[in-house]
Amino acid sequence: MKSIVFGLQWGDEGKGKVTTYLSRKYDYVVRYSGGSNAGHTVEYGDFKLVHHLVPSFDVRTDTIGYISNGVVVDLEVLNKEVEELKRLGFDVSKRIKVSNLAHVVLPVHKMLDEKFEMAKGDKAVGTTKRGIGPAYADKVHRIGLRLVDFEDKQNALEKLKFISELYKNLYSIDWTDYDKVFEEYEKIRSFVVSPIEIRKELQNSNVLFEGTQGVMLDIDMGSYPYVTGTYCNTTGVEPGLGYPMNIDKRIGVFKAYLTRVGEGPFPTELFGEDAEKLRKAGKEYGATTGRPRRCGWLDLPLLKYAIEISDCTEMIMTKADVLSCMDKILVGVRYTLCGKKIELPTNLEMLSKVEVEFIEFEGWKDLNDVNFKKFVEFLEKETGRKITYISTGANVEDIVKM
Ligand code: IMP
Ligand code: MG
């Protein structure tokens, strides 16, 4: 069995918790894209984990996590996560594998991310400043450093010096602390594997692919340019692995309302008191940056678009319990522009101008409430997809099969 769990919105749909819950039925959880911009919070009850790079497997089982070459790896972040797990009594060092073709996020990438954002002024994307865009850009510029380069220290050192020179000349960025990179590499070198070696194993195992962010932040199919530097859609699995992979299930996760971090249009956005109420109830603050997330109502045109382009086969809804803080629940059902109905525009100028027609649902006290059942039925009918699980709280066990 091969499945993907991915986000149907702008990230933070609760994929980390869902992936952790589902991971128990799989031998591998594979991260196929993104980097430490991702922040997946998983509450186990007596402890809580925030995953940035370690795949979201249940740490109490023996599922293995593979970080494929589609991911850009900040070695320091990975080491910190592994250390934190050790501190909690989970030695996962035998259960993490990283592709030797994965590119490394260097301090210069984070410095350039910051510099670019500053220079863009009001055109800034609102990145997480984790160096994701610059690391992918250097991969394409063909100057990136891969884990395989460290097999020969001299070779890695020469590459680091070359990158450092380029950054100095092109961007006036000064950085020469190569020792720190080698130090971090030494700590993870036992995790490094060849993607060729692991290919057969993946083919013969039950694998859960873990998406990062959400479809609307996909570099091609998302709300460009307000997107991340890579594939958040289900299409990222193959480029992320470097070889074909047949997938049985594409499980899209969506939140019963909507949030977004960073800039870009958000047609169903709420402001003022209602936004604050939702933000507080849903603890909507970035797991990576701590930024308050922008909050709004569920956007059906956007959800339908994400379902279509991802070929989503089933859905999981999260955080419907949070909506019990609201008396009325709204869902955006149609976009209009100057009185005319329009489909989801890929043209961002239009997306920022559309007006949204909403329909209203009576609020629910809990998820057994008949009002909640009506909400679920409506969404299934509109999207043509089954909601197979509903997450009922923050804890990894708080989930019910439908
Ligand atoms: P970057 O990925 O740091 O380059 O940021 C690009 C855009 O993606 C910004 O709007 C970020 O806020 C957003 N983003 C990146 N990672 C996440 C995430 O894990 N959740 C939600 N938004 C994210
Ligand atoms: Mg997150």
Identify the pLDDT of residue 290.
87
Which residues line the pocket of ligand 1, CB cutoff 6 A? Answer: 11-12, 37-39, 125-128, 130, 132-133, 213, 217, 226, 228-229, 261-262
CA atoms within 13 Å, Cβ hemisphere of 30: 30
The fraction of the chain above a pLDDT of 70, given in percent, is 100
Indicate which ligand has the atom closest to the C-alpha of 117.
1
Mean pLDDT of 236-256: 97
**Closest Cα partner for 281 from 328, 318, 319, 327?**
319
Residue-wise pLDDT tens digits, 335-386: 998 888 888 766 788 888 999 999 999 999 999 999 999 999 999 999 999 9
Helix (H) and strand (E) counts for the chain? 12, 20
Token pair belonging to 236: 């990222």
What's the rounded Cα separation, in Å, for the pair 108 and 131? 8
Cα–Cα distance list, 58 to 26, 49, 55, 230 (Å) = 10, 10, 9, 26
**Closest Cα partner for 213 from 222, 224, 225?**
222
Identify the pLDDT of residue 345.
66
Mean pLDDT of 91-113: 96
**Closest Cα partner for 92 from 61, 69, 71, 70?**
61
Catalytic site positions:
12, 40
Q: Which residue type does 112 have?
A: L
Confidence of residue 288 (pLDDT cuts 50, 70, 90): confident
Identify the pLDDT of residue 244.
96
DSSP state letter for 300: H
| Residue 280 confidence (pLDDT) above 70 | yes
pTM: 0.96
Mean pLDDT of 245-259: 97
Which residues fall inside 5 Å of ion ligand 2, going by CB? 12, 39, 287
Identify the pLDDT of residue 252.
98
235 contacts: CB under 8 Å, gap ≥ 6: 310
Which ligand 1 atom is the nearest neighbour of the CA of 212? Answer: 19
Higher pLDDT among residues 289 and 399, named by residue: 399
> Could you tell me how many residues make up the chain?
402
Confidence of residue 62 (pLDDT cuts 50, 70, 90): very high
Which ligand 1 atom is the nearest neighbour of the CA of 132? Answer: 4
Residues 389, 309, 58, 17, CA torsion sign = negative
| Residue 255 confidence (pLDDT) above 80 | yes
The fraction of the chain above a pLDDT of 90, given in percent, is 92
Give the containing element (helix H, strand E) for 86: helix 75-87
Identify the pLDDT of residue 287.
82
- Beta bridge mates, 341: 336
Cα–Cα distance list, 143 to 76, 132, 185, 219, 228 (Å) = 20, 15, 18, 21, 20
> What's the mean per-residue pLDDT of the chain?
96
What's the rounded Cα separation, in Å, for the pair 125 and 242? 29
Higher pLDDT among residues 253 and 348, named by residue: 253
392 close to 21: Cβ distance less than 8 angstroms? no
Ligand 1 atom 15: residue of nearest CA: 37
Indicate which ligand has the atom closest to the C-alpha of 214.
1
Identify the pLDDT of residue 397.
95
What's the rounded Cα separation, in Å, for the pair 157 and 150? 8
Ligand 1 atom 8: residue of nearest CA: 228
What's the rounded Cα separation, in Å, for the pair 93 and 71? 19
Residue-wise pLDDT tens digits, 147-181: 999 999 999 999 999 999 999 999 999 999 999 99
